[in-house]
């Protein structure tokens, strides 16, 4: 691998709150793991990243810290983002990163100018001269198979881990966008609070996520087990009263109630996005439909939920959690003049 010609690789990155994905032109998506890093604080050394680091959450001793450098779509620790990228690049390329020609990092629409500058600086610090950033929602639309370069409005809703992003695109640009911090991590927190209050059981964030993934639904029949009964999940945690380990059964009806409350905010923001979209483009949305992507697109009944809310046809991304990274593949092919104008 060290033989790879210098400056030949074009690389796309989806720096998500929950998952980090890396695409290399000619090789495909080479990394798709949680955006988590474990570091040895005293020795200032990276212990692990991705799945390995995620497995350490809540299980490390004083010397090792497990960090999620993105929170709610916001960069909370740029140093750790640098470390996570350095570590994964070296792991993925098995050689020095100077073999990267072009690096495209997708970022949330609402990110501040300071954060944008920090990401750009990071690329340069890594020694990659051609570092570019572009909007996640645009990449998600392209990755979802939408032709965004026509003069016709398309609405994409990306329900991720940290944020739910709403973007109206036309002629290759984001014309209107909104972002709220009601997404996967927030759903998990609401589940944790509910289980604590209702079942007097304390559960960790990973257990809350497992409950959600197993039982999540918004409309239609509740998920059922093989006997036709409402599906349940046995969650392990600590009994609040006795302080001892305890198992509690949570059912899909309880989780639907929690999610429906969370989705009120998503629904309200979707409606306000439609209200603030220029009328001609809003009209196009009736023909083009609304496209849902991100991990939240996996929730059962999400299509009908949004169709009931808007009266517009809804399409669910075929591979919701890889839409952004697949979009980078297309963006990397386009002449940089067309979309990197401001940088």
Q: Which residues bind Mg ion (CB under 5 A)?
A: 16, 160
Counting beta carbons within 10 angstroms of the beta carbon of residue 225, is it exposed (0 to 12), middle (13 to 18) or buried (19 or more)?
exposed
255 belongs to the binding site for ligand ATP (CB under 6 A): no
b (16+ CB within 10 A) / e for 39-58: beeeeeebbbbbeebbeeee
Least distance (Å) between residue 170 CB and Mg ion = 22
Residues between 61 and 80 with contacts to ligand ATP, criterion CB under 6 A: 73
Residue 257 makes CB contacts below 8 A (sequence gap 6+) with none
12 belongs to the binding site for ligand ATP (CB under 6 A): no
State which residue, 179 or 217, has the beta carbon closest to Mg ion.
179
Least distance (Å) between residue 162 CB and ligand ATP = 4
State which residue, 93 or 186, has the beta carbon closest to Mg ion.
186
State which residue, 135 or 209, has the beta carbon closest to ligand ATP.
209
Least distance (Å) between residue 19 CB and ligand ATP = 4
Structure tokens at 138: 């645009």
Distances (CA, A) of 233 to 212, 241, 297: 9, 21, 21
Among residues 110, 98, 116, the alpha carbon closest in space to that of 340 is found at: 116
What's the CA gap between 166 and 174, in Å, rounded? 10
181 belongs to the binding site for ligand ATP (CB under 6 A): no
Least distance (Å) between residue 243 CB and ligand ATP = 28
321 belongs to the binding site for ligand ATP (CB under 6 A): yes
The contact set with ligand ATP (CB under 6 A) reads 16-19, 73, 160-163, 183-185, 209, 212-213, 216, 294-296, 298-299, 321
């Amino acid at each position: 691998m060290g033989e790879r010609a210098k400056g030949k690789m074009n690389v796309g990155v989806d720096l998500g709150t929950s998952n980090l994905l890396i695409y290399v032109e000619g090789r495909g998506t080479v990394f798709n793991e949680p955006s988590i890093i474990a570091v040895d604080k005293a020795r200032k050394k990276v212990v692990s990243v991705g799945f390995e680091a995620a497995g350490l959450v809540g299980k490390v001793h004083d010397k090792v810290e497990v960090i999620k450098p993105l929170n709610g779509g916001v960069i909370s620790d740029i140093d750790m983002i640098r470390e996570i990228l350095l570590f994964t690049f070296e792991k993925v390329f098995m050689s020095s990163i100077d073999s990267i020609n072009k690096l495209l990092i997708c970022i949330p629409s609402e990110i501040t100018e300071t954060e944008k500058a920090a990401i750009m600086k990071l690329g340069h610090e890594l020694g990659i001269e051609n570092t570019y950033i572009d909007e996640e929602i645009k990449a998600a639309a392209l990755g979802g198979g939408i032709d965004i370069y026509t003069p016709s409005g398309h609405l994409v809703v990306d329900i991720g881990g940290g944020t739910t992003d709403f973007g109206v695109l036309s002629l290759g640009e984001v014309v209107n966008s909104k972002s709220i911090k009601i997404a996967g991590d927030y759903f998990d927190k609401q589940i944790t609070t509910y289980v604590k209050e209702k079942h007097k059981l304390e559960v960790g964030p990973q257990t809350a996520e497992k409950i959600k993934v197993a039982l999540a639904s918004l409309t239609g029949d509740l998920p059922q087990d093989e006997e036709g009964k409402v599906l349940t999940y046995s969650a392990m945690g600590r009994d609040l009263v006795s302080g001892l380990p305890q198992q509690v059964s949570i059912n899909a009806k309880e989780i639907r109630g929690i999610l429906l409350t969370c989705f009120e905010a998503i629904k309200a923001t979707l409606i306000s996005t439609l209200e603030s979209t220029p009328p001609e483009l809003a009209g196009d949305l009736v023909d083009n439909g609304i496209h849902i992507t991100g991990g939240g697109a996996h929730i059962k009944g999400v299509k009908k939920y949004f169709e009931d809310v808007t009266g517009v046809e809804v399409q669910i991304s075929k591979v919701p959690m890889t839409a952004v990274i697949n979009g980078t593949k297309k963006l990397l092919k386009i002449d940089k003049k067309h979309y990197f104008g401001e940088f």
